[in-house]
Amino acid sequence: MIALTHVTKLYGSVIGVNDVTVELGTGAYGLLGPNGAGKTTFLGLVTGQLRPSMGTVLVFGERPFFNARVLRRIGFCPASDLTERNATPQEWVRYLVQLSGFTPAAAAIRARRALEQVGLDEASRRPLGTLSKGMRQRAKLAGAIAHDPDLLVLDEPFDGLDPVARYELVELVRAWSQTRSLLVASHLLHEVEALHAGLAVILGGRLVASGPVEELRRLIDTLPSEVRVVSTNARRLAEVACRNPGVDTLRFIGDDTFVVGTRHPQQMAERIGITAREEGILVRELIPGDRSLEGIFGRLVQLHRGVAP
Amino acid sequence: MTTINTVNTIPPDAMPAADRGGLWPLWSVLAVARFQIGRLLTPPRLALAALGVVFPAAVLWAAESISEDRLSREAGAMILYALIPEAVCMLGLLMTMCPAVADELERGTWVHVAVRPGGRRSLLLGTYLAAIGWTAAVAMSALIVALLLGVIRDGTSLAPVLIGLILLSCIGRGALFALPAVIVPKRALVASVGVALVVEYLAGFIPAVINQLTVSLRLRSLLVKWMGWRREVPIQMQLLIDTNPPWIQVTAVFILAAVLLLVAVLILEWRQFPPSEES
């Protein structure tokens, strides 16, 4: 469905994406990466807004840029909020459907149907400026699906939504992905996980990993992580830590602090905690490995570059 | 890159069933035109349009006050030509055509348009239609108000001439301003004023091949012909008009507009706006 081969996109001297090669078949995918990682550029290339500076982008076997055949099969919901405040959702979606080449009568029917699908039929005649952000997100989604695309591409669709609106939108998108293909860009792992989508992780314009969420989780779990301990008897606790399997590195920072590199940071932290309690050692700080998304990304980059074992 | 085999497989769907007529590009263009007109119906825009409507009448009234008599048909035609097909149309098109792309980028709606099949060209052509429709409506209203003032002798006989010139001015200059709108969207207004001054009012008055490519030459020539002034124009001034029949002048404006729009569409189809340039 989507094939990028050695794709690089440059904005002058700034790199948008860098030498990305990936093939995504039909199905649901999450494009995961922190802000500024190159997700929007990736989606811009896939949705025919941008041309690659180098390499080839194929969607449904064809280049999407300036290609009506491909664009007709793509629905895109950008990250930016709808600033078209005076138009109603009905007018806005009908406009977008007509831009896809439908007759006014067909566009009106499709717009109404899409707004019903996203649960916005009652508010469809209110100006967009009077709707909540969640409702405007739904209106954007309706605009993206009303022309019945084969591939739905969403850029940060859950950004800025309250938990209820987020849950409802996740459900909507998940229902969509049961029958059609989906590509969702997000910087939040749990959002992509909730969609039961495969993952492509992008960082610094590079694709560092791709695959099912479970596989990536397993992969992440095998990457070494650091546990930092500050204690009154750091040497004794370091001795205990070294007895554990899976210790890669250990280094002291002063007399009371040590950092241990391990593939099982959680177990290591638990073991040190138990020992400290049993032997009455005061532990001032016990920080298990960096489980934040940035930390995970960082370790995936290490793996990608061959730094991590 | 670490690649792990994926994932859910869904059989690829066929192309969506089309409720598209054979004229689908036309629907897109008309949709944009309608939407752009809707955007123009705001109090500030309507106030500007009202100003454009009353401005020529105010100037005529002032001219009549100075001359202390009704204006001759010829003088009235000259003043109305300068004020309506030239000034009002030019200003109206600057306000409506120049922001064709910049407005979408600022509103963050460009991306919605760019991912639609033919969305870019529909945006440009639809905005062009809306700009022509809006400006022509303002200019014709200005003409009606000016003629209703009754300060020109036999003023109503000028209406067909000026209506023709208004339409041609809108068609030609709208297309002319489409180029800056797609080449330098964020400086389109400044660039268009420059284009208007350099192309229309400088090159247009150079008695050489270059003025054949301007709308102003065609409009002047048509004004002279339709007003029957050919013999009254001094020999030096005849260099500034084209003596070919009116149908050639009209055709030239249409060809010029078509070529300019084609170039603008091709440029826009090929343009890319990095995400940072949007809103």
- The secondary structure of A93-154, three-state, reads HHHHHHHCCCCHHHHHHHHHHHHHHCCCCCCCCCCHHHCCHHHHHHHHHHHHHCCCCCEEEE
Closest residue to B272, CB basis, from A50, A179, A212: A50
Between A18 and A217, the higher pLDDT residue? A18
CB atoms A101 and B25 under 8 Å: yes
Higher pLDDT: B181 or A38? It is B181
Residue range B255-271, pLDDT digits in tens: 999 999 999 999 999 99
Percent of chain B with pLDDT over 70: 89
* Domains A2-211 and A223-305 equal at CATH topology level: no
CA distance B30 to chain A (A): 9
Closest CA to A106 of A97, A116, A93: A97
Which tops the pLDDT comparison, A300 or A167? A167
Is the CB of residue A5 less than 8 Å away from at least one CB of chain B? Answer: no
Residue range B116-165, pLDDT digits in tens: 988 999 999 999 999 999 999 999 999 999 999 878 888 888 999 999 99
In this predicted structure, what is the pLDDT of residue A267?
80
Mean pLDDT computed over A27-52 = 87
pLDDT of A72 strictly over 80: yes
> Taking the CB of residue A251, how many other CB atoms lie within 10 A of it?
11
Q: Which of A91, A123, A107 is nearest to B38 (CA)?
A: A91
Residues 6 or more apart whose CB falls under 8 angstroms from that of B132 comprise B170, B171, B174
Pairing of strands A206-211, B2-3: parallel
pLDDT of residue B260: 96
Among chain A residues, the shortest Cα distance to B16 is held by: A148
Residues pairing with A184 in the sheet: A30, A154
CA atoms within 13 A on the CB side of B71: 26
* Share above pLDDT 70 across residues of chain A, in percent, rounded to a whole number: 91
For the stretch B12-16, contacts whose Cβ atoms lie closer than 8 Å and that sit 24 or more positions apart, written own/partner, are B12/A1, B12/A26, B12/A60, B12/A150, B13/A150, B13/A180, B15/A72, B15/A73, B15/A150, B16/A72, B16/A73, B16/A147, B16/A148, B16/A149, B16/A150
Residues B92-117: what's their mean pLDDT?
91
| Closest Cα in chain A to B20 | A102
Q: Looking at the partner chain, which of A84, A209, A219 has a beta carbon nearest the beta carbon of B107?
A: A84
Of A43-52, A297-306, B5-14, B104-113, minimum mean pLDDT range: B5-14
Chain B residues touching residue A41 (CB < 8 angstroms) = 274-275
Domain ranges of chain B: 27-271
Whether B88 has a pLDDT exceeding 60, the answer reads yes
pLDDT digits (tens, 9 = 90+) for A199-214: 888 877 777 777 777 7
Query: Each residue of B129-168: b (16+ CB within 10 Å) or e?
Result: bbbbbbbbbbbbbbbebbbeeebbeebeebeebbbbbbbb
- pLDDT value for B4: 35
Tell me whether residues B38 and A210 touch, CB distance under 8 A.
no
pLDDT at position A304 is 63
User: Is A289 near chain B, with CB under 8 Å?
Assistant: no
Instruction: Please report the pLDDT score of residue B241 as a whole number.
Output: 84
CA quadruple A216, A217, A218, A223: dihedral sign? positive
Could you give the 3-state DSSP secondary structure of residue A190? Answer: helix
The secondary structure of chain B in percent helix, strand, coil, rounded to multiples of 5, reads: 75, 0, 25
**Considering chain A, what is the average pLDDT of its residues?**
84
Whether A211 sits inside 8 A of B115 (CB atoms) is no
Please give the mean pLDDT across all residues of chain B. 86
Residues 6+ apart with CB under 8 A from A241: A227, A229, A247, A250, A258, A260, A262, A268, A271, A272
Residue A151: CB atoms within 10 Å: 23
Mean pLDDT of B96-121: 91
Chain A residue whose CA is closest to B38: A87
Question: CB A72 to CB B15 under 8 A?
Answer: yes
* d(CA A179, nearest CA chain B) in Å: 7
CB pairs under 8 A between A and B: 181
Which residues in chain A touch residue B8, judged by CB atoms under 8 angstroms apart? 26-28, 196, 198
Average pLDDT over residues A257-261: 88
**Mean pLDDT confidence for A71-97:** 90
Chain B residue at shortest CA distance from A196: B8
| Interface contact A86, partner B, CB < 8 A | yes
Which of A49, A51, A133 should we substitute to test contact with B (largest number of B Cβ atoms within 10 Å)?
A49
**Residue A182 in 3-state DSSP?**
strand
Query: What is the average pLDDT across A281-309?
Result: 67
Q: Which of A32-36, A89-93, B217-221 has the lowest mean pLDDT?
A: A32-36
Nearest-CB residue to A212 (from B7, B13, B269): B7
User: Quick check: A89 contacting B, CB < 8 Å?
Assistant: no
Neighbours of A64 (CB within 10 A): 24
Report yes or no: A100 at the B interface, CB cutoff 8 Å: yes
Distance from CA of B116 to the nearest CA of A (A): 5
> Hey, is the C-beta of A21 within 8 angstroms of any chain B C-beta?
yes
Question: Does B4 contact A219 at a Cβ distance shorter than 8 Å?
Answer: yes
Identity of the residue in B3, B35, B118 whose CB atom sits nearest the CB atom of A101: B118
Chain B CB contacts of A60 below 8 Å: 12
A117 in contact with chain B, both atoms CB, cutoff 8 A: no
Predicted local distance difference test score (pLDDT) of residue A93: 94
Best mutation site among A21, A22, A98 for testing chain B: the one with the most B CBs within 10 Å?
A: A98
Strands (E), chain B: 2-3
Predicted local confidence at residue A112, as pLDDT: 93
Q: Are A192 and A255 in contact (CB under 8 A)?
A: no
B178 pLDDT higher than 80: yes
Query: Taking the domains of chain A in order of start, what are their residue ranges?
Result: 2-211, 223-305
In 3D space, the residue among A125, A33, A113 whose CA is nearest the CA of residue A79 turns out to be A33
Contact A78 B108 (CB under 8 A): yes
Place of tokens 């700080």: A285
Min Cα distance B250 → chain A (Å) is 31
Q: Which of A150, A207, A211 sits opposite B12 (nearest CB)?
A: A150
CA A49 – CA A270 distance, rounded (Å): 50
From the CA of B272, how many Å to the nearest CA of chain A?
Answer: 6
Per-residue model confidence (pLDDT) at position A296: 66
If one counts every other C-beta atom within 10 angstroms of the C-beta of residue B252, the result is: 21
Place of tokens 């870019």: B120
A50 touches chain B (CB under 8 A): yes
pLDDT band at A43 (very low <50, low <70, confident <90, very high): very high
State mean pLDDT over B58-82. 86
Interface contact A102-B20, CB threshold 8 A: yes
The pLDDT of residue A294: 58
pLDDT at residue B121, rounded to an integer: 93
From CA A72, how far away is CA A146, in angstroms rounded? 11
Class of A223-305 per CATH?
Answer: alpha beta
CA-based angle B6:B10:B14, to the nearest 5?
135
Q: Is the per-residue pLDDT at A117 higher than 90?
A: no
Cβ contact B27–A104 (<8 Å):
yes
Spatial CA neighbour of A198 closest among A216, A180, A186: A216
Q: How far is CA B163 from CA A190, B20, B226, B258, in A?
A: 63, 36, 12, 21
Per-residue pLDDT band at B182 (split at 50, 70, 90) = very high
User: Distance, in angstroms, between B254 CA and closest chain A CA?
Assistant: 26
A103 near B CB under 8 A: yes
**Is residue A207 within 8 Å of B1, Cβ to Cβ?**
yes
Is residue B49's pLDDT more than 90?
yes
d(CA A240, CA B64): 104
Residue-wise burial string across A158-188, b where 16 or more C-beta atoms lie within 10 A, e elsewhere: bbebeeebbebbbebbeebbeebbbbbbbbe
Residue B17: pLDDT above 60?
no
Nearest to A71 among B7, B107, B115 (CB): B115
3-state SS class at B141: helix
Hey, is the C-beta of A25 within 8 angstroms of any chain B C-beta? yes
Find out whether A229 and A284 touch, Cβ atoms under 8 Å: no
Give pLDDT, residue A299.
67
**Res. A80: pLDDT tops 90:** no
Give the up-direction half-sphere exposure of residue A18: CA atoms within 13 A in the CB hemisphere: 12
Residues B192-203: pLDDT tens digits?
999 889 888 888
Q: Which of B24, B46, B103, B112 to mutate to test the interface with A (most CBs of A within 10 A)?
A: B112
Summarize pLDDT for A134-179 with one digit per residue, the tens.
888 889 989 999 988 999 999 988 877 778 878 888 888 888 888 8
- CATH architecture, domain A2-211: 3-Layer(aba) Sandwich (3.40)
In angstroms, rounded to a whole number, what is the distance separating the alpha carbons of residues A45 and A203? 16
For residue B5, what pLDDT is reported?
A: 34
